[in-house]
Structure 1
Amino acid sequence: MTQDPLIHPASSVRGQTAVDAVVALLDLERLEDDLFRGVSPEISPVRVFGGQVAGQALVATGRTVPPDRRVHSLHAYFIRGGDPRVPIIYQVERVRDGRSFTTRRVTAVQHGKTIFAMSSSWQSDEEGMEHEPAPLDVPPPDQVPTLDERLTAVPDTRHVWAHMPRPFDIRYVELPTWLMPPEQRVAAPEERVRVWIRPDGRIPDDPLLHVCLLAYVSDLTLLDTVLRPHGVVAENTIKQMASLDHAMWFHRPIRFDDWVLYEMQAPVAAGGRGLATGAFLDADGHLLTTVVQEGLVRVRG
């Protein structure tokens, strides 16, 4: 699926208007008990953004799950590029409803073919052991430049998503490679990429919507992390980048109406593919979600 829809300041739709548009995007039409229909934004890239499909699929699944159960994991495959010009049909399969866990499968279909498939597991709240890694030292979001400020500092920067709406406030802690002048781009194999993210407006108080929005943004910046160890940018070096699969584990209830920190790194690239891992933490440093994605990363010949 298409990667990294970061937006240039020239974008005309922002703030609450852009947030409301994303919320509406995730409000699927129910055709039958287990059949849903979703659409893409009027202004879209050539292919449907992968985070949109994952978020919509999770909405469809969640609407078939008992309300006392939260998603704790999902595993998804991006099978074909989505066509933003036509609706996407989501077919949910009720695999199991147990005493504590619920299992669902969902497929996304366009033009009679599956473009995306996801399995997810949902659990009733339980008490148990708790531990987590100590959070890294990171400046708070109000001390990190906004994306507009980053882009203004590099006026010659261009981006393929220049005219897309921007529903999220995205603040890179470290200057991303794609914003660096060529002479400053260096390989950084061990470096993490850290980004503060929050919706740029109010969102409804719906727990399912909060977790689906987090699934949506989990695909925004992750695969670009594979390029950081090589000190390159996609437009100069990469022939093709696309998500292949995506997995998330939700450790705690999600509230995405405030800042979350997305810490990412890419431990390996081989065989024309790159593996990126991520972790969402709340403003207090508690680990909320773990993300792993493998993507196709083909270098120009």
Structure 2
Amino acid sequence: MATLIRPPPENTSLSAIENTLELTRLSDIDTNLFTNTRPLWHPPGARGVYGGSVIAQCLSAAQKTVPRTFTIHSMHCYFVLAGNAEIPVIYHVEHVREGKSFATRTVQARQRGKAIFTTTMSFAREGSGGKETVEHACEMPDVPPPCEDDAGNIFRQRGTHAPFESQRIEILNNDSPHPHTKRTRQWIRARGKISPNGGHEAHLSALAYMSDSYFIGTVARVHKLWRFSLKRPGQDKESAGNTVVDEDVLKKLMNMDAETLRRHPDMDEHVIEQLKNGMVSTEGKIQRPEVGMMVSLDHTIYFHTPRDFRADEWLFTEMDTPWAGDGRGLVQQRIFTRDGRLVATCIQEGVVRLKQTSDSKL
């Protein structure tokens, strides 16, 4: 059972991402308890549900417990266990502090009595900083604007009702031998239009949802690691790896031109990029180190102008990784509006383990 209560029909007056993140308040039990109204998305090959949905629903739950004059400015999250898409999630909001300028909430997401995710959030009263403030912000890089039609290199979350879309830009300094100098870049936006009734809270939750897109994967991209296991004839997916490409299919893909690859219904940006970069030979032999395990450990978002952006308009994100080692990697992300205003800064650390030599033989 993916939800505690039978999901209602999708509300056509709301955007896809509002429907995706809808919560049901369990007021008869506790006004600080919430649950997911609709099933959560489990990305193909992932260990559990998409982390961005739990991040966003925790934020959405907490926002329902603070006065409208208070707005989120930071949230610090920890992924504890992989979420199961077949089990409802219960969100418990704890009121830690009710101050004049700041309010603090913690939210714990639980399945079968165990915490799968926990976050602490701080909300600031609007205008509490005073009329005179210290201000500065880094500038948005000069990048190509997003394409407004499918002629652009647009990759969407799989499914007709995917709640957001992204458009990739070539990795900056992709040929550099120094991974920390590279920048992965993309445009993102929620599909459709977020409803006026959603208010700024809906845009903040949508931004939180999208912020987890390919976040820790930045480490794999700048190191050009192979993230897909090959499944030989007769081999089941479990023994081949989490995300699987059939060897026979791989050989056909190798003979496709770039445009045909881009429009292939079962391929995403990582596979295309790795095939084009020659990370797999025509015999299906991996030419690059292979990811054995990659999973997020924590996720922090600092919201800079939380009432001054729209998540259903194109936002530019740039990610870099200053460090990786000891089976972990750290990634920084900056999110800008299309006109260049910095609206959020995100940080994530995750497990990034390579398949060891003895495990990499095909």
**Aligned partners of 2:40, 2:95: CA distance in 1, in Å?**
32
Q: 1:187-243: CA deviations, max 9, x gaps?
A: 552110110111221111221110011000100121111113312231151111111
**Aligned partners of 2:165, 2:101: CA distance in 1, in Å?**
36
Report the secondary structure of 2:26's partner residue.
strand
Instruction: Map residues 1-301 of structure 1 onto 2, 5 A cutoff.
Output: 20-32=15-27, 33-39=31-37, 41=39, 44-45=42-43, 47-126=48-127, 127=131, 128-142=133-147, 149-150=152-153, 165-174=161-170, 189=179, 190-205=181-196, 206-235=199-228, 237-252=290-305, 253=307, 254-301=309-356
Report the secondary structure of 1:142's partner residue.
coil
Q: Which amino acid aligns with 1:36?
A: F
**Aligned partners of 1:88, 1:106: CA distance in 2, in Å?**
12
* Higher deviation after alignment, 262-271 or 42-51: 42-51
Offset at residue 263 of structure 1 (A)? 0.7
Offset at residue 71 of structure 1 (A)? 0.2
Structure with the larger RCO, 1 or 2 (CA within 8 Å, 6+ apart): 1
Which is greater in Rg? 2
| Corresponding residue of 2:6 | none
Q: 1:253-277: CA deviations, max 9, x gaps?
A: 2421211101111111111111010
**Aligned partners of 2:211, 2:168: CA distance in 1, in Å?**
14
* Higher deviation after alignment, 240-249 or 43-52: 43-52
**Aligned partners of 2:352, 2:16: CA distance in 1, in Å?**
31
Offset at residue 41 of structure 1 (A)? 3.2
Q: Is the 8 A contact 1:185 1:231 kept in 2?
A: no
Report the secondary structure of 1:173's partner residue.
strand
Q: Which amino acid aligns with 1:238?
A: V
**Aligned partners of 2:39, 2:182: CA distance in 1, in Å?**
34
Q: Which amino acid aligns with 2:21?
A: L
Q: Is the 8 A contact 1:226 1:266 kept in 2?
A: yes
Structure 1 gaps of 5+ residues are 1-15, 153-158, 177-183
Aligned residues: 270
Q: 1:84-117: CA deviations, max 9, x gaps?
A: 0111000000000100100000100001100000
Offset at residue 26 of structure 1 (A)? 1.5
**Aligned partners of 2:299, 2:154: CA distance in 1, in Å?**
29
Percent same amino acid at aligned positions? 38
Structure 2 gaps of 5+ residues are 1-10, 230-289, 357-362
TM-score normalised by structure 1 residue count: 0.82
Structure 1 residues 93 and 141: alpha-carbon distance in aligned structure 2, compared to 1, 3 A threshold? same
Q: 1:161-194: CA deviations, max 9, x gaps?
A: 7558532221111169xxxxxxx98755211011
Report the secondary structure of 2:310's partner residue.
coil
| Corresponding residue of 1:4 | none
Q: Is the 8 A contact 1:191 1:265 kept in 2?
A: yes
**Aligned partners of 1:162, 1:298: CA distance in 2, in Å?**
26
* Higher deviation after alignment, 236-245 or 163-172: 163-172
TM-score normalised by structure 2 residue count: 0.69
Offset at residue 244 of structure 1 (A)? 0.3
Structure 1 residues 40 and 232: alpha-carbon distance in aligned structure 2, compared to 1, 3 A threshold? farther
What is the alpha-carbon root mean square deviation over aligned residues?
Answer: 2.7
**Aligned partners of 1:83, 1:142: CA distance in 2, in Å?**
35
